[in-house]
A and B are shown apart, each in its own frame.
Chain A
Amino acid sequence: MSAQPVNTGELAVVGARVRKVDGRELVTGQARFAADLRFPGLLYASARRAGVPAGKLVEVDPSPALRLPGVVAVLLARDIPGPNLIGILPPFDQPLLAAGEVRYEGESLALAVGVSREEARRGAAAVRARIEPWEPILTVEQALDPAARRIHPGGNVTYSKKLVKGDVAQGFAGAQVVVENTYQTSFQEHAYLEPEAVVAVPGGDGRITVYASCQSPFHLRGHIAANLGLPASRVRVVQAYTGGSFGGKDDVATEIGALAAIAAVRLGVPVMIAHEREESIIGSNLRHAARIRYRTGALRDGTLVAGEAEILLDGGAYASESPFVTMKAMIHAAGPYRVPNVRVESTTVYTNKTYCGAFRGFGVPQVTFASESQMDELAAALGLDPLELRRRNALRPGEGTATGQVFTQSVGIGRTIERVAEKAGPRPMGPKPAEGPPAGAQPATDGGRYLYGRGVACLLQGISNGAEGIDVVGASVQMAQDGSALVGVGLTDMGQGSRTVFAQVAAEALGVDITRITVRQVDTDAVHDSGPTVASRSTTVGGTAVLKAAREVAGSLRSMAGLMLKCPPEAVRLAEGFAMLEADPQARIPLAEVATAAYWSGFPLMHLAFSRAPDARFDHETHQGDIYIAYNFGTHLMDVRVDRWTGKVKVLRHLAAHDVGRVVNPLGLEGQVEGGSLIGFALAHLERIDTEGGHIRNANFADYAVPSILDRLPTETLVVEEPSPAGPFGAKGVGEPPVAGAAAAFANAVADATGLRFTRLPITRADIAAALAKEV
């Protein structure tokens, strides 16, 4: 990455509160999501699901379905030309259609194709499957029992890693205070409003186009081609407008993309698969449930000396992103603190439940809940204010993270703590009595019914693929003769606003208004493979590639303008849609004229540039080394009021401070913080996938409590800008981090209000009311 100092000069578009560049089509209903696409002869397909969590798949009989009117075909596992496998990290372990064995209730056994959605669904339901049920493996303990049935040939451990920094035994030996606890979190559903959908359209030229609601089109292309038994060049994936993803539209989009493509090729007509909500919940990945044993040692002044964690993740039936979630959880377990001795063991296991994978935060919310609960327990044990304890241990530039990585810039955790401290104001229900004990003790009450409390939480979240693999983005910028520019990046906008960020970066570099920039939708035929859209990397790594490409095009324009203005290119500035003399801005030529002249003079007006994050360099045994290109740091504060009678919690105040390096679009930034925080709050309070005997009992929005507008948080976004050399204009991603902060702060606030430490998320109203009733 460039060693040059971060540009902090005057910017025109970057930092401005701009509208979403693709907003107009979204508010007018013109944006076409995958299920909105219509093609002549379109057929619909629907999967027959297993309905039982584990068993031997003896026979799948399509004949009852084929007898139904409107059912065109039924595909079975043997109809799949390729390996019938998908996954993230080889060896892949997830079949498109099960063969021989059922590993979770949502397993697809057959695909019915019908002339309407209803007929396809009826066909799927009519497929007869003979399954000899096995006792399902439902808990992590059952899975790890050496005598347990193996869910996969390699055993029931999906992935297991260790992080070792310093010597924890020695660290604990020197500790004056030690706290220890075990924490649990539950499965969480993405609940994007758009259920997964794809349409596969055969081209007649031996190629097939798949329009998909998805997150990583190149990932889809590879798997679809492999399962079709075709080279990747014969498959084109176009990302349709995507109604939210949050990590959830990788595996499942691959699965239905490949199935639709196989059906379409076989039948020679376009085929759509559009999930219903229940399928979306049962048949696509969830956030891992976690059990984390955590021990923290400190000196009496609060200085952390040792941290030890054992992380066990329930990954469900297939690996999906589990290996990387295992690692990410581990790397973040020690929080944004200076801890000299750290030991973390992190393991994901298979169970006969819906598989788990990427979900905004990627393992970090779970460990942050644990580590930040520990910090509060430690503060209570030491009689220290929770924020003060964090302040004393917050990482500073030049100090090592849990992996020993040292950042000399853009370590803003301390400043986020200060921002929150400044804005915090009095505790709810006024200051505590001066003579009262410090935080964590008996809080103020209100006629006995209401309890008030305040919680804080600090966090860090690694930006970029880091230890998960090579991180390269290719971006193209092309200027037309009218002075407008077309930007192509292989990273997708699923609603988070990356197209707007890319447009801002390009507009800034080219000196044009943002309305002159078009950011194309991702089409694998038209943009460069940029890796998966994950890990809060779009703004940072993607934005850097766009900036580089735009600067090259700007260089051409400046050269041309130099000839026209009779000055060296360096004397030309591009701004306000003009090329102008730096020294005399009145001497200016409209950019369209410059671009036209450049075209006729043969100056290149298109450029493809790459941004490559430095490869992670670390010891694979201990995970010591340089993992991420940057971290987003944050501090959240929540004030709550708890109703003793019903367990209802009202969030009175929510401060969310994040070090984002540089704000690119305040509107987008606030949107990410507000939306991410609500998902974190839901993880902590409202949402839990409820499974019984391997069946999800609440696969709908009536019983799975996605927050409504009446449940929203009063989030105030506080910005800290510690520019990072890794991102464009110093910017760092912010998509994921708020989830962890809000979840952990909520748990700490409830603990502060009730005087009871809840160690399992979600902390539901029922949990709180029951615990308080016992207290009386």
Chain B
Amino acid sequence: MQLEFTCNGRPVRMQADGSMRALDLLRDLLGLTGTKEGCGRGECGACTILVDGSPVNACLLYAAKLQGRAVLTVEGLAKGEVLHPLQEAFLEEGAVQCGYCTPGLLLSSKALLDRVPHPTDPEIEQALSGNLCRCTGYAKILKAVQRAADRAGRGDGTSRRGREAGR
């Protein structure tokens, strides 16, 4: 079928089998291999992408469902050489070890911060509960998201208070 959508801010127009996985469309047809396959069953979150701002498992998403949507993958996070605050925070806090789960975690985190700029710890945990990581033990990932939120909201002080309240 004829598909039209935007991917990382750019328009895409292509012929594709509507029943293929969005994951394969991104990786094999668009060459966007930053989106990873970890389980192929929606159980690990490594293939998380944002569709109209919502995190979804690209391994379970039929390509036809991209029609008319705005897709964001990890390749679309940085602005040229300038990393997204979440990417900076993940590096700064040591939230990346092998890095295979990282693209999915970044996108789940972005979806959260776009919706809730100053999340509490439980809100972060809920938002990231669909992204498995085997290396880090998660503490540094949580800190990285807090850090990115703090940086974005620096000065207003609400995020820290929110966090304390959430403990």
Footprint of B on A, CB under 8 Å?
19-20, 22-24, 26-33, 35-36, 38, 190-195, 241-244, 246, 276-277, 494-497, 667-668, 670-671, 674-679, 700-702, 706-710, 712-715
| A to B CB contacts below 8 Å, 5 in the list | A193-B36, A276-B40, A671-B135, A671-B137, A713-B137
B160 proximal to A (CB < 8 A): no
Contacts of B126 in A (CB 8 A): 710
The distance in angstroms between the C-alpha atoms of A408 and B162, with both chains bound, is: 51
Q: Give residues of chain B (89-123) contacting chain A, Cβ–Cβ below 8 Å.
A: 90-94, 96-103, 106
Other than A27-B102, A244-B97, A244-B134, give 11 A-B pairs with Cβ distance below 8 A: A19-B91, A27-B74, A30-B75, A36-B33, A191-B134, A194-B36, A241-B99, A495-B97, A674-B138, A675-B136, A701-B39
* Assembled-state Cα–Cα distance A622/B103 (Å): 50
Evaluate whether A712 and B38 lie within 8 angstroms (CB atoms) in the complex, with A27-B90, A193-B44, A241-B99 already known.
Answer: no
Answer whether A709 and B44 are a contact pair too, CB < 8 Å, given A28-B74, A36-B33. Answer: no
Name the residue on B nearest A27 (C-beta): B87
The residue that A195 contacts in the complex, of B32, B38, B91, B133, with Cβ under 8 A, is B38
Shortest A195–chain B CB gap in Å is 7
Contacting pair A668 B33 (CB below 8 A) = no
B14 at interface (Cβ–Cβ under 8 A)? no
Which B residues are CB-close (under 8 A) to A667? 93-94, 140
A700, B39: Cβ atoms under 8 Å? yes
In the complex, which of the residues A20, A23, A195, A678 has the most CB atoms of chain B within 10 Å of its own CB atom? A23
Query: B78 near A: Cβ within 8 Å?
Result: yes
Known interface pairs A27-B83, A702-B43; A670-B94 also in contact (CB < 8 Å): yes
Pair B101/A712 contact, Cβ less than 8 Å: no
A33–B103 Cα distance when bound, in Å, is 13
Quick check: B91 and A708 within 8 Å, CB to CB?
A: no
Tell me, rounded to whole Å, the shortest Cβ–Cβ distance linking B3 to chain A: 19
Q: How many residues of B contact A (CB 8 A)?
A: 54
Most chain A CB within 10 A, of B33, B83, B103, B106, is at B33
- Cross-chain contact of A244 among B75, B77, B135, B138 (Cβ < 8 A): B135
Q: How far is the CB of A525 from chain B (nearest CB, A)?
A: 24
Q: How far is the CB of A519 from chain B (nearest CB, A)?
A: 15
On whether the beta carbons of B36 and A33 are closer than 8 Å, the reply is yes
**Closest B residue, CB atoms, query A703:** B43
Minimum-distance CB pairs A-B, first 6: A29-B34, A495-B98, A243-B100, A26-B99, A674-B137, A36-B33
State which of B31, B77, B132 has its C-beta within 8 Å of the C-beta of A706.
B132
Please give me the residue from chain B that is nearest to A742 by CB atom. Answer: B137
A277 to B128, CA, bound (A): 21
* CB–CB B43/A701 < 8 A: yes
Q: Are B96 and A20 in contact (CB under 8 A)?
A: yes
Closest to B84 in A: A27
**Cβ proximity bits B37-51 to A, threshold 8 Å, 1 near / 0 not:** 111110110100000
Closest to A243 in B: B100
Nearest A-chain residue to B35, judged by Cβ: A29
**B142 in the interface, Cβ–Cβ < 8 Å?**
yes
* B159 proximity list for chain A (CB < 8 A): none
Partner of B137, one of A192, A244, A678: A678
Between A27, A497, A670, the greatest number of chain B beta carbons within 10 A of the residue's beta carbon is seen for A27
B165 within 8 A of A: no
B125: shortest Cβ distance to chain A, in Å? 5
A708 contacts across to B, CB distance below 8 A: 129-132
Chain B's closest residue to A38 (CB) is: B31
Contact status B96-A246, CB under 8 Å: no
Contacts of B139 in A (CB 8 A): 674, 712-715
